[in-house]
């Protein structure tokens, strides 16, 4: 006989949870997308009244989103000017990518060594969705899956400190990494490198994965070189 307690304990495994996004999360993603796509350009002041009207929200959730973006390093709060989209120099990019390279290579090695088969297959699933978006030429959504894959590989390491450091740095240069996919040649090159990454991960070949991650991040630096 199945009692009520048994039915309750089975429920989380039987039914997927309904995820509800807060207004803050919605505004944050929209504002971040505007920065990534260049609709809010580096050095541009964020006009709260204008952006709030465009998004159909009051200044309160918008200001909360701006605070989050400032903590991520995408926005700077300047005296007498307010919130301004951060402008990164070529040296800024080089230094951030240098650290990201080490973090992602370490995360990739640890993922190959200890991630479960289910975790690796989930990353493979993200890769398949990313490729579908590439084929559909949906660049912004492709980019989000691209970044999710980088984060998922690091998360598969199981090291929370590594994940936090990676998330902080990755957030700062999303706009520049997005630029790295501009044009069919650059975009195809990035996709080819991701194909190599997933093959190495599926084989749990730590050396191969570390190598392609290193080449991928170096290619990112070269692909965005001409924007400075």
- One-character DSSP codes across 66-105: HHHHHHHTSEEEETTTEEEE----HHHHHHHHHHHHHHHH
The answer to whether 69 touches 35, Cβ cutoff 8 Å, is yes
Domain 4-85: top CATH class: mainly alpha
Rounded to two decimals, the pTM is: 0.78
- Can you tell me which residue has the tokens 């899956």? 145
pLDDT recorded at residue 44: 94
The token duo for 37 is 């796509």
Q: Residue 45 in 3-state DSSP?
A: strand
Amino acid 10: pLDDT: 39
Extents of the domains making up the chain? 4-85, 90-227
Domain 90-227 falls in which CATH fold? Answer: 1.20.120
Of residues 176, 190, 171, 177, the one with CA closest to residue 73: 171
pLDDT the model gives residue 20? 65
Output the pLDDT for position 16.
Answer: 42
The answer to whether the beta carbons of residues 68 and 206 sit under 8 Å apart is: no
Q: Which residues of 65-102 are buried (b: 16+ CB within 10 A; e: fewer)?
A: bbebbeebbbbeeeeeeebbbbebeeebbeebbeebbe
How many other C-beta atoms are found inside a 10 Å radius of the C-beta of residue 197?
A: 24
- Average pLDDT along the chain, 228 residues, taken 10 residues at a time: 42 45 90 90 93 93 94 90 91 94 98 97 98 95 95 98 94 84 89 97 98 95 79
């Amino acid at each position: 006989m199945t009692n009520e307690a048994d039915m309750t304990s089975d429920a989380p495994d039987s039914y997927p949870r309904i995820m509800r996004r807060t207004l803050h999360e919605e505004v944050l993603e929209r504002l971040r997308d505007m920065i990534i796509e260049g609709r809010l350009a580096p050095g541009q002041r964020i006009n709260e009244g204008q952006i709030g009207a465009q998004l159909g929200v009051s200044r309160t959730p918008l200001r909360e989103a701006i605070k989050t973006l400032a903590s991520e390093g995408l926005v700077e709060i300047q005296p007498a000017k307010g919130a301004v989209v951060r402008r990164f120099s070529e040296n800024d990019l080089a230094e951030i990518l240098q650290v990201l390279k080490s973090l992602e290579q370490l995360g990739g090695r640890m993922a190959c060594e200890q991630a479960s088969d289910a975790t690796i297959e989930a990353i493979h699933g993200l890769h398949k969705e990313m490729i579908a978006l590439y084929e559909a030429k949906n660049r912004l959504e492709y980019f989000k899956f691209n970044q999710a894959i980088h984060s998922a590989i690091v998360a598969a390491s199981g090291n929370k400190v590594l994940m936090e450091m990676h998330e902080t740095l990755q957030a700062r240069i999303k706009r520049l990494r997005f630029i790295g996919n501009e044009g069919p040649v650059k975009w195809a090159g990035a996709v080819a490198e991701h194909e190599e990454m997933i093959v190495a991960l599926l084989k749990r070949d730590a050396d191969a994965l570390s190598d392609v991650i290193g080449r991928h991040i170096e290619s990112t630096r070269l692909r965005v070189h001409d924007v400075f």
